[in-house]
Structure formats: C-alpha cells, structure tokens
Structure 1
Amino acid sequence: MKKRWLGTSLTVLLSLSMLAGCGGTAPGASESPEPSNTPAANETPKQDKPFAGQSLSIVTANHPWGEAIVPLIPEFEEATGMKVKVESYFEDQLTQKLTVQFTASSATPDVFMYRPLQEGRLFFKNGWVSPLDEYVNRNADYDFDDISKAALGTTTVAGKIAGIPIITEQEVLYYRKDLLEKANIQVPKTMDELVAAAKQLHDPKNEMYGFVSRGQRSPLVTQLSSFIYSEGGDFMDGEKATINSPAAIKAMTTYGTLLKDYGPPGVLNMSWPQAFGIFAQGKVAFLTDANSLYTNLTDPEKSTVSEHVGFAAFPAGDAGSKPYNVTAWGLAINANSKNKEAAWAFIEWATGKEIVLKQQQKGNPGARGSVWNDPEATKSYPPQLVEVTKEAMAGGVDHDRPVVISVGEARDAVGEIVMKIMTGEQDIQAAADKANETLQAIIDKDFKK
C-alpha cells in the first residue's frame, strides 16, 4: 500500500529526476541511465521510482531512533527504488568515524546522525555539512513550519539550516507525588518554592534527600542551563561571555545550594545515571533533568517508586519558566555527497509526520508539534509528561550549553563555578569572573575569523 509520503513528496522528486533526463542533472544527484521507452510488463516504470538504481549510505548512532528506523527503511526503498546501507556506531565512535572520513573529503556517508550541540558548529565551520535551506520548503506536505522553532534553532548555524531534528529534549521537574501529598506540599512552580519544598522534605537521617541532579563539573552544565535562562541570564551574549552576570550567579547559587544542602552523599560525582538511580531507589523528592529519560523512573523493573513519579514544568525564576528545548540528535547531509537529492529524499521521509509518529510511538520524542498533539503518538507516554513537554516546546531555549566549537572546555569553565559553590567557596563572584575570562578566551579562539 502506498504511504501518504509517496504523494506530493515523490511528485516533487520525480520532477527533479525528469529534469535531469531532459539535459540537466539536479544539484548533487547522480546521473542515471536513460529509461527504456518500453519497460518490461513485469517491471515498474522507472518514473514511478525516481531514484531507481541509486545507493545511499547512512550512518547512525547506536540509539533507539536508529534501531527504530532500520525496520522502516524497506518501505522507503520500495517507494524510491534506491538501496540504503546503514551502519551504526557508539556515540564516541560515531564522532571519530565522521571526523576521519570528512577530513579525508569522503563522499560517504551521504546522510549521518549527529549531535548538533556537541559537534554541530565544528562540522559546519569545517564545511562538512551541506546547508538544507534550499530543500525544506519544496514540498508543502512536508510542512516544515510544523517543526519546533527552538529545535531548529539548535540545528541552525550562522543562519543556515545544518540539520533536521530527530530527537528533542526539554528539562522538566520530576517529583514524588506521594511525598508531596503526605506533607501537604503543592508542586513547586517557582525556584523559591522548589528550594523550600526540598528543604522541608530533606531528611538525611532516614536516607531521604530533598533534591538531586547532575553534580559532575561538565555534565551538570546542561541541567544548570534552565536555571540560568529562567533567571534571565545565558552563557553568552553574542560573542561575549556572561557567566559572571548577576542572573547567572543567582542561578548557579540556587543550583549549587540545592545539591550541597539537600542532595544525597556523593552528588559531586553524579551524572544522570546516578541521579536517576538514587531517585528510582525512592530516596529523593525532586529531580530536574531531561524528559527523554523518564522511563528510568516509570519502569517498574528500574524504579521502586514508578507509580509515584510526577512531572511538572520547570520552576520559574525572575524571568519566568525557561527550560531548554533542544535537538539532542539530528540528521545532516555530507557536503561531499554525490547523492544530495537522494539524501534529502531520505531525510524528508525520515523526519516527515508519518515516520515521526511511528518513532514517537517507540518512545523517541520528535520535534513536530502536530505529532505531539496526536493521541496515537503519545498514548505510551504519561499524560502529565505530554502536557509538560508540549508546554516546554511552545517556548524554551534552543541550547543547553555554551554554543561554541570547544564544547568540553566551555562546559568545564562553567561547571567550575558550581563546584566552588558545592564545596563551600565564599567568593563566588571572583570564581565567576575567573571562569568568565576562561570562557571568553574560548569564544575568541573559536570565533576567530
């Protein structure tokens, strides 16, 4: 049965293919043999499959999105006539492989999965990705405007669309419904209310802790980001470092104090697995982190408090509730690909409404507003989490770390301030000023013309 995507989408692609047969080759498309005027009776006419005979190479991360897309690829091959080869790698291996191949100007892979906030600026600056601006509005049925603007902000570099979002994340507040009900505490809506509630529920003598989140220097930065935005700050203002601003210092003080005063033992060494792990053991009242990790708390096989987990919007600071709303993973086209038209056909299919719905049914949160509003796409999610996610997607900030090339160095500089707070440093302004100088040096290096 033909899928909805095969309608207008393939009509557009077919016109490009026919254009190539009339004396020109569509940009980036491989030339194909002249079609026979009299195809065999048992043969599908070539114009029905505009990429018949072409091969496409795709590289994905070992990620649930990649696992879910592989069984769907045969329908794409049947519709287009092309053959798709998929390779998968662990995250660090993926980055290493792509860097080696792109440095060597390899034409493969044609399409690749990447982390826009981690390596997006580097790939773009080095000319390794092909901007997609000319493709995204070709087909009205693709409905490019349906994709979250903040998610697209994550994949946009220097005003160019470098990739299309496939996995999004928003920071939310996880809480124990039973503990709040027993203590007659309302779900915190502001930073002050969160601090007060964490203090009230903190009972270390009975191994109950008020708050947990990432405490390691580099990992904590992504979750700290929403605190900074909600107080009216940011890591940078253009090419100027701003982590020593009053808003940033207030946010970092709140985050660091929550962990220091109401966090569990060893929180300085916690990234997300440890933070979620201790919450799942029933020892923490509040946790802030990405919504995409929720099954670690709601799966009875992983969590002793699965039936007691609540979800709430990120607490508001002086500037309101401004959680990050980012693209964790995107799809991009290799700038040296010889099959750019075919590559875009795959991305258009893989990020269209029908496939995003199927992906979301598998637990892979996409960037399309219409899909989040479709009950079929969200029926496996906790209803409370769906509403919180939709609220965050309506606004939110498109980055969760400094947007630079040297991401690791920048995260360490920011995280150092929070570490000082957590270990009892008194002069936080001085620590922030020093870290700001470090971040500014990184920005100056990375943005050097």
Structure 2
Amino acid sequence: MKLKASLALAFGLAAGLANAAPTELVIATVNNGHMIEMQKLGKNFEQANPDIKLKWVTLEEGVLRQRVTTDIATKGGQFDVMTIGMYETPIWGKKGWLQELKTDAAYDVDDLLPAMRNGLSVDGKLYAAPFYGESSMLMYRKDLADKVGVTVPDRPTWVQIKDLAAKIHDPKNGVYGICLRGKPGWGDNMAFLSTLVNTYGGQWFDMSWKPQLESKPWNDAITFYVDLLKNYGPPGSSANSFNEILALTNAGKCGMWIDATIAASFVSDPKQSKVADKMAFAQAPTAVTPKGANWLWAWSLAIPAGSKKVDAAQKFVNWATSKEYIQLVGKTNGWAAVPTGTRKSTYANADFQKAAKFAAAEKMAIDSANPNDSTLPKSPYVGVQFAAIPEFQAIGIAVGQQMSSALAGKTSVEAALKAGQTAAEREMKKAGYYK
C-alpha cells in the first residue's frame, strides 16, 4: 500500500508539473504587415518554448500609442511586451519606465545598425530592440525622368527635385510631378516637414528651448513645400498620408515621392504596383545642409519596467528581433518580405540584395541619419523628425494642423507659422522650459 501511495504521489507531482500553466505574454502591437506576419510566425516561438503562450493585442497606430502610453505612465501592467518607437524609447528609458534589455552572444547586438542601436539606447543601455527600421528617401519613376532627359543623382537637391517635378507633371494624363504628405499629425505631415526644415537649416527649438517656427529657415521650407505641391502635386494633398500616396504611386500617378524607406518594398512589388519595374531610388533631397534631411524611425519591442514576466518577455523580444527571425521570414515568405532596417547581416545577405533593388539606398539613408546631430544650429533635443520630449506630441499636432491649412490654401504660410509658434510657446512655457 505504501509503495502504491508513494507512486501515486510521485505520479501526481509529475502530472502537476506537466500541467503547469504556461506563462502568458500579452503583446501590444501595431496593425501593419510586418507585425501581422510576426503573429503568424509566433507559433514557431511557442513550439520552441512550450512554457510560454503569446496573446496579441493588435491596434491601429494612434490607438496603440494612447494605450501603451497610458498603461506605462499609470503602471497599469496590461502588457508584457510593447511595440514602441524611437520617440518614446529615450523618454521612457530616461524615466526608468522600461526594462534594460539583456542580450546574449547569439543575439549579436553589434550586428544592429548603429543608427538603430543608438536611437533606442539611453547612456549606452539598450531599452528597445528594433523589429524593423526606416529612414526616408526619394522614390521616383525612372521612365519619366528618362523621357525628359534627366538623370537623378544619388544625392539630389530640392532645386533639382522641383525642376524634375515641373518637367514630368502631366495631370491631363494622370501623372503628378511629386506627391508628399499633407495630412496633419506629429508623425504624419510633420515627420516629413521636420526633415525639410532641418535641411533648410532650421530647428524646432534653440538651445534655450524657444520655438523657432517664425525663423527664416521655417518660412523658406514651408513656402517651398506649399508652392511645390500647389504647382506639381495631386489635388487634395492636404489630406494625403502614407497610405494614400502609396496607392497613388502604385497606380502610376506619382512621378516622385519622398517618404519612408519601408515603402520601397511595396512600390517595387509587381503584385502591388503597376510601375514596379519603373521605380528607382535615391537619397532624400537636401537644401542648405545635408543634416537631418532624412528621418530615422524604428518600430521596436520593449518590456515595461514593472513586468512580472521579464525572463519570458526577454526571450520573446530576442527571438522576434534576431537574425534567425529574419531568416525565418526569408524562407517562409521570400527575401523581399523580410523586416528591414535593423541588422548589418540582412544587407550583407546575397538573397536579400537580389530581391531588394532598394537595399543599398535604404541602408545609406539609415546610416546617414543621426538623431543626436540633426540640425545645422545646435539643438537641445534628440530626434530627427521629432524632438524627444513629452510635450512634442501636442506641439507637433497643433503645428501639423496649421501646415495642412496652409497647404489647402485656407491660411497663408506666415499666418500658419505664427499660429504654430504661439501654440508651441504656450506648451513649452506651461511645461516650465522657459518663462
């Protein structure tokens, strides 16, 4: 009897251990193609780690930002892994809201592109791992440029871009010289316009944190932009964002487009684009200075400081941002579909180079973007197309609305910049940056 009892007890303990509930990781992410693919491939992670179960909360970009910001600021603990960007990471890392990431030798942190690693670090410590990264660049119809006898250089100027836009603009035949973002938002029209202002020699704030919207570089940049789109852009540009312009470009209606490098894989994909074989790529245009002419962004995975499941979360973050994950996507979906902009090894891969004709231009753009030195005059903030301070969201939204109004012809450039300056000063004074 004793033997039976002890066997039953031993069996019961073993069964109990076998049936121990797996750790559930709640992952907040954005509803774009690369992340949806990560969810599908998540089963591979679960098979390799049967003690971890993944639960996905997939949200539209604006909603995601709100939810994760509220959760982390209130220590809500809803999420174990968050998808955040290069704007949030340095702010939250500095505040102690994020777990420092621990990577092992197999992860090869030195393989991360320096621009990505630096943009997601605070004082040399990595607080988010890049899932995919991007800069901005010029995507253009080479057939149209050839037709008018223009060779686009690898590093064009805005003057050259305007000249080409004038030559290829043919609205009667449904082709517009250039398409650019106009929809208001700090991460929308202002992401592009900040880079334009940078290259015109401007900045958001001077070293005393005084907003600079009524300065000459801002006036020159915004005047140029409004004239350019008024003369050579599609109608309704003030409502166009990434997705609208992507659709226009894929339909063959945009002669040129300056936007996120991630778009290159879509516009050169014959399944999506009518002009895939006609597209060519170059660096974002420059004006007075090359500084800050092209932005830098990474959608990244981070672990909130208060997480009770750090080890499991760290395991998942390491897997989803690893070389092996990129190989898995390459094998599963083809090398043109891999998340780009994060690792040196991706760009060194012959299969990737063959599949992605934009690879060299994309890597050059990312390598040249420096969030710690993105303006001609010295600036007190980190960031290329944003200033990494909590107040910037509100300022960027207010200014973005004014710029969109100027583009729509509802207000003058001067009046829009004056209103933007007033809004920015109010926010900065309220936050105590200056009196």
TM-score under structure 2 normalisation?
0.78
Runs of 4 or more, structure 1, over 6 Å off, are none
DSSP 3-state at the match of 1:329: strand
Structure 1 residue corresponding to 2:115, chosen from 137, 150, 160: 150
Structure 1 position 422 matched with structure 2 position 420:
no
Instruction: Classify 1:414/1:300 alpha carbon distance in 2 versus 1 (closer, same or farther; 3 Å).
Output: same
Q: Which amino acid aligns with 1:413?
A: A
DSSP 3-state at the match of 1:364: coil
Structure 1 residue corresponding to 2:127, chosen from 126, 140, 162: 162
Q: Which amino acid aligns with 2:244?
A: Q
Structure 2 residue corresponding to 1:387, chosen from 354, 360, 370: 360
Which stretch shows the higher mean deviation, 82-91 or 434-443?
434-443
Structure 1 position 274 matched with structure 2 position 244:
yes
1:27-46 CA deviation, whole Å, 9 max, x = no partner?
A: xxxxxxxxxxxx99xx9xx9
Question: Could you tell me how far apart the structure 1 residues matched to 2:242 and 2:173 are?
Answer: 23
Question: Could you tell me how far apart the structure 2 residues matched to 1:180 and 1:99 are?
Answer: 45
Structure 1 position 203 matched with structure 2 position 173:
no
Instruction: Classify 1:179/1:267 alpha carbon distance in 2 versus 1 (closer, same or farther; 3 Å).
Output: same
> Which residue of 2 is the match for residue 176 of structure 1?
141
| C-alpha contact (below 8 Å) 1:325/1:395 kept by paired residues | no
Offset at residue 107 of structure 1 (A): 3.9
> Which residue of 1 is the match for residue 339 of structure 2?
364
Q: Mind listing any 5+ residue stretches in structure 1 that lack a counterpart?
A: 1-38
- Equivalence map 1:120-139=2 (5 Å): 120=89, 128-132=97-101, 135-136=102-103, 139=104
Q: Mind listing any 5+ residue stretches in structure 2 that lack a counterpart?
A: 1-9, 372-383
1:341-367 CA deviation, whole Å, 9 max, x = no partner?
A: 332232223222222344463332241
Question: Could you tell me how far apart the structure 2 residues matched to 1:274 and 1:208 are?
Answer: 15
Offset at residue 198 of structure 1 (A): 0.9
1:103-127 CA deviation, whole Å, 9 max, x = no partner?
A: 663444222222343x557755775
> Which residue of 2 is the match for residue 59 of structure 1?
28
> Which residue of 2 is the match for residue 439 of structure 1?
424
Q: Which amino acid aligns with 1:365?
A: T
| C-alpha contact (below 8 Å) 1:129/1:162 kept by paired residues | yes
> Which residue of 2 is the match for residue 256 of structure 1?
226
> Which residue of 1 is the match for residue 192 of structure 2?
223
Instruction: Classify 1:446/1:143 alpha carbon distance in 2 versus 1 (closer, same or farther; 3 Å).
Output: farther
> Which residue of 2 is the match for residue 86 of structure 1?
55
Question: Could you tell me how far apart the structure 1 residues matched to 2:354 and 2:78 are?
Answer: 38
Structure 1 position 413 matched with structure 2 position 398:
yes
- Equivalence map 1:12-161=2 (5 Å): 54-77=23-46, 79=48, 82-91=51-60, 92-99=62-69, 101-102=71-72, 105-117=75-87, 119-120=88-89, 128-132=97-101, 135-136=102-103, 139-156=104-121, 161=126
Question: Could you tell me how far apart the structure 2 residues matched to 1:352 and 1:261 are?
Answer: 46
Instruction: Classify 1:97/1:223 alpha carbon distance in 2 versus 1 (closer, same or farther; 3 Å).
Output: closer
DSSP 3-state at the match of 1:440: helix
Which stretch shows the higher mean deviation, 426-435 or 233-242?
426-435
Aligned residues: 396
Question: Could you tell me how far apart the structure 2 residues matched to 1:281 and 1:257 are?
Answer: 24
Offset at residue 79 of structure 1 (A): 4.9
Question: Could you tell me how far apart the structure 1 residues matched to 2:115 and 2:205 are?
Answer: 17
> Which residue of 2 is the match for residue 194 of structure 1?
161
Pairwise CA RMSD of aligned residues? 3.5
% identical equivalent positions: 28
DSSP 3-state at the match of 2:184: coil
Offset at residue 97 of structure 1 (A): 4.4
